[in-house]
Amino acid sequence: MERRLTRQGEARKAELLAHAARLFAERGYQQTRVIDIVRSAGVAKGLFYWYFDNKDALFRELIGEMRERLRAEQTVALVGVGSPLGRLFAGTLASVRFLAAHRELYALMQIEGQTGDAFTDELRETTTAHARDTGTLIEAGQADGTIRADDDPTTLAHAVLATVIHLVYFQRTGRVEESVDGLATTAARFVTHAIAATGQDAHAAEREAMGAFVAMATN
Amino acid sequence: MERRLTRQGEARKAELLAHAARLFAERGYQQTRVIDIVRSAGVAKGLFYWYFDNKDALFRELIGEMRERLRAEQTVALVGVGSPLGRLFAGTLASVRFLAAHRELYALMQIEGQTGDAFTDELRETTTAHARDTGTLIEAGQADGTIRADDDPTTLAHAVLATVIHLVYFQRTGRVEESVDGLATTAARFVTHAIAATGQDAHAAEREAMGAFVAMATN
DNA sequence: CCCGATCTTGACCCGCTGGTCAGGCGCAAG
DNA sequence: CTTGCGCCTGACCAGCGGGTCAAGATCGGG
């Protein structure tokens, strides 16, 4: 592709991406027609193909955008938190908040696995990386005795991810009424207690993470 | 519809349902063409419409079948387990085993929410009922002090469901390698520790549920 | 053996949707 | 003023896929 775009062009392209993200979130990728996107943006159909090779290409751009944003957010959330369990608590808090705040983008991830399409792997990469990070965190916690060592760290890591992802999904689809902050706290407590060696360890992690969060907010 | 079917007819219909379930599980509902189903069964396209009004009707039949099987399995799993936390452990064990054993049917549930279609509500009903049951179980546990009372029972119930559902999804898509039994145990421990008031309560629940399971198996 | 009900076939129809294209408009540089 | 490039339009095309149908094949009971 590689097309030279003026400022107006960039704006129009971003506009199309935004409308597409919203529609995909509302009714899914397959159910959203190109004509829906352009009508929503108030332009003619042909213009879509001025900015994107095809429907798939636009989808890939959205995935990339999402991945970047998520990564950026994650790294910020962990400053000032040292212990594995504390980092897990803080990371979960941040993940829930992020996913809830960017439902349009998040809904795209949910599609993964449904389609046997080419970009399934591309979509899963975000989740895979997240699982890997959480796994090493859990191993560290098992080493220093703050995390139960009677279960496989990789499986536990996926259990943590599963809780976060699907719980936000429940909230997005209106099954859980709670506020985002409440949901984030409950989720963080849930996963921390789930893998902590003792209740005391879990509570200590919560105090540490909350302290760092307040410190950062007031900073 | 209501068509009189001979034994041969019943068999052919079941055959089509089975092929459809497998294909839906592999590539999703939207991605599966009627022609794929009939080709997979080795019959002509027109025959599909002898047994089903249309593609949607077949889908609804599959949902109903799944719901019945799941309900039956669930009720069996809880005999001989008294305490709320123990019932939660046993129920989680049974759910993971069931979902893993019936991946074809389970994959259909995953579609819920993606489609803005008519049967979204129909699909969600299974999950909703499950969440309600788990919620009352958690309330009972909070009342007798074996479950943490610092979080909303409804939200906790959804967190439990989220873990189970998405963890099996991870296994189905090859992200978790563990055996079904190992996965079930890990999942049950995970959710029990997540909501138990103390580690001791969680361990007691595991012993109770495992004891009942062994008793039933040797029975 | 005959007849009707059940079952089976594959060519056909038609609407939908991703993608194309020939052309038009406007603006900025020369 | 004109030339060219970026931007924009909407009619059109082609293939796909759900659903139909008229014509058999098969089979069991009378």
Work out the percent of chain B whose per-residue pLDDT is above 90. 61
**pLDDT class for B115, splitting at 50, 70, 90?**
low
Give the CA B141 to C1' D15 distance in Å.
59
Q: Domain for residue B57, yes or no?
A: no
Is A212 in the same domain as A115? yes
d(CA A147, CA A134): 13
Q: Quick check: B211 pLDDT over 90? A: no
Q: Domain for residue A58, yes or no?
A: no
Q: Domain for residue A85, yes or no?
A: yes
Is A115 in the same domain as A158? yes
Q: Quick check: B167 pLDDT over 60? A: yes
- Look up the CATH number of the domain holding residue B45: 1.10.10.60
Q: A142, A148 in Cβ contact below 8 A?
A: yes
- Look up the CATH number of the domain holding residue A203: 1.10.357.10
* B22-66 per-position pLDDT tens digit: 998 888 888 899 999 999 999 999 999 999 999 999 999 988 888
Q: Domain for residue A1, yes or no?
A: yes
Is B103 in the same domain as B189? yes
Residues of chain A with pLDDT under 70: 1-2, 108-118, 219
Q: What pTM was estimated for this model as a whole?
A: 0.85
Q: Domain for residue A77, yes or no?
A: yes
Residue A141: give the domain boundaries. Answer: 64-218
Give the CA B9 to C1' D20 distance in Å.
21
Is A142 in the same domain as A89? yes
With an 8 Å Cβ cutoff, are A175 and B26 in contact?
no
Is A45 in the same domain as A92? no
Does residue B166 reach within 7 angstroms of strand C, measured from its CB?
no
The minimum CA-CA distance between B159 and chain A, rounded to whole Å, is: 6
Looking at the 3D structure of chain B, how many domains does it have? 2
Q: Domain for residue B59, yes or no?
A: no
Is B141 in the same domain as B192? yes
B71 vs B184, more confident:
B184
With an 8 Å Cβ cutoff, are B170 and A187 in contact?
no
- Looking at residue A204, what is its pLDDT? 96
Is A79 in the same domain as A174? yes
Q: Domain for residue B99, yes or no?
A: yes
Nucleotides of C under 7 A from a protein CB: 5-12, 16-22
Nucleotide nearest to B9 (CA to C1'): C7
**pLDDT class for B159, splitting at 50, 70, 90?**
very high
- Name the domain boundary from B31, B52, B73: B52
- Looking at residue A120, what is its pLDDT? 73
With an 8 Å Cβ cutoff, are A110 and B115 in contact?
no
Q: CA dist A180 to A170, A171, A187, Å?
A: 12, 9, 10
d(CA A157, CA A132): 8
Is A98 in the same domain as A179? yes
Q: Domain for residue B161, yes or no?
A: yes
Is A43 in the same domain as A140? no
- Within 8 A by CB and 6+ apart from B106, the residues are B25, B66, B99, B168, B172
Give the CA A13 to C1' C23 distance in Å.
23
Q: Quick check: B114 pLDDT over 90? A: no
Is A102 in the same domain as A189? yes
Q: Is B74 on the interface with A (CB under 8 A)?
A: no
With an 8 Å Cβ cutoff, are B175 and A152 in contact?
no
Is B17 in the same domain as B121? no
d(CA B5, CA B52): 12
Phi, psi dihedral angles at A56 (to 5 degrees): -60, -45
- Looking at residue B112, what is its pLDDT? 54
Nucleotide nearest to B6 (CA to C1'): C6
- Looking at residue B157, what is its pLDDT? 98
Sign of CA dihedral B65, B66, B72, B73: positive
Is A137 in the same domain as A176? yes
B126 vs A22, more confident:
A22
